[in-house]
Structure 1
């Protein structure tokens, strides 16, 4: 994939991939920057004696997050495969390989459709 898609410079990932080791490895090995797309906070812990003017504000209602749809769309593509829709496998390597297969299928369908 790296030889064919040489112009890839940025990836968007879910909050589950926010470890520093992964980000550094991808940057050093492939020269690709990973941006973690975070959800807006929905709950806050505050002390009971906090005055109301110091409470954090929260926007009400639905708000589209930038690039969040890209991550969610990719999860939808992966979950179309029955084997990946639930956690059937005991080994994470099996699940990882099936994710590679699922995304290869998506890319091949896009290339030859």
Structure 2
């Protein structure tokens, strides 16, 4: 998982131990920050923005209706499966 400096520290350690995932904290200038007067865009930002946009197209995921993390995660999986099926059978 790629994250910025705000997700470092204890939260990063929890993600790595509980979910057994590798967390990469970017310390370079993050997108929408000016470095030497030029706009710097993060290398993987478009992937994150595109994924959030796809999830936002689902009515159930447009707002935070879910009470549990399991149900929210399930609807995210369903949204990705639905999108993949639509793409395959076009």
TM score, norm. by length of structure 1: 0.54
Partner of 1:81: 58
Superposition deviation, residue 87 in structure 1: 0.7
Long gaps (5+) in structure 1: 1-12, 27-33, 44-57
Q: Distance in 2 between matches of 1:86 and 1:37?
A: 28
Which one has a larger percent helix, Structure 1 or Structure 2? 2
Q: Distance in 2 between matches of 1:105 and 1:75?
A: 15
Q: Find runs of 4+ consecutive structure 1 residues off by over 3 angstroms.
A: 34-39
Alpha-carbon spacing, 1:82–1:41, altered in 2? closer, same or farther (3 Å): closer
Q: Distance in 1 between matches of 2:39 and 2:72?
A: 33
Give the count of matched residue pairs: 78
Q: Distance in 2 between matches of 1:95 and 1:37?
A: 25
Which one has a larger percent strand, Structure 1 or Structure 2? 2
Q: Relative CO higher for 1 or 2, CA cutoff 8 Å, sep ≥ 6? A: 1
TM score, norm. by length of structure 2: 0.65
Partner of 2:79: 102
Give the CA RMSD over aligned residues. Answer: 3.1
Q: Distance in 2 between matches of 1:78 and 1:97?
A: 12
Cα deviations by residue, 1:64-105 (Å, 9 ceiling, x for unpaired):
211210111011101111111111111111111110110001
Q: Distance in 2 between matches of 1:79 and 1:36?
A: 25
